[in-house]
């Protein structure tokens, strides 16, 4: 019994340490109304002007693989992320006026 508890505690501690960002917290940014041809590299190039970009994800339809017209960008610095949001919201990118704001958790269905 003790052995199983030790494994569980070890796995919980490992999960906690993996989920922590050392010295900083990533900011997840929602980017809406993107052109269907926008790629992750396009978004990375756009947001890198404001600071370090940790990740980009263009959301696609699982059946067709086509972009759903929105994406998420993760930035390492909170202040730089806010600067990018303020600068890019409602601005034209690839012929579309972007909607850019801090991402909110998904609501339950």
Q: What is the pLDDT of residues 46-77, one digit of tens each?
A: 999 999 999 999 999 999 999 999 999 999 99
pLDDT bracket for residue 106 (50, 70, 90): confident
- Show Cβ contacts of residue 81 under 8 Å, excluding neighbours closer than 6 positions: 27, 29, 50, 51, 75, 102
Superfamily of domain covering 23-102: RRM (RNA recognition motif) domain (3.30.70.330)
pTM: 0.75
16-52: pLDDT as tens digits: 333 334 445 789 999 999 999 999 999 999 999 999 9
Per-residue pLDDT averaged across 93-98, rounded? 97
| Helix, strand, or coil (residue 79) | helix
pLDDT tens figures, 74-94: 999 999 999 999 999 999 999
Give the residue from 104, 100, 107 showing the smallest Cα distance to 32: 100
């Amino acid at each position: 019994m003790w052995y199983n508890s030790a494994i569980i505690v070890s796995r919980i501690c490992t999960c906690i340490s993996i989920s922590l960002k050392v010295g900083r917290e990533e900011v997840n940014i929602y980017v809406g109304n993107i052109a269907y041809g926008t790629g992750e590299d396009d978004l990375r190039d756009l947001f890198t002007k404001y600071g370090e970009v940790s990740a980009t994800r263009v959301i696609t339809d699982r059946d067709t693989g086509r972009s759903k017209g929105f994406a998420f960008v993760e930035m390492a610095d909170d202040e730089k992320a806010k600067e990018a949001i303020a600068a890019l919201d409602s601005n034209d990118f690839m012929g579309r006026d972007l909607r850019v704001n801090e991402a909110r958790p998904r609501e339950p269905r």
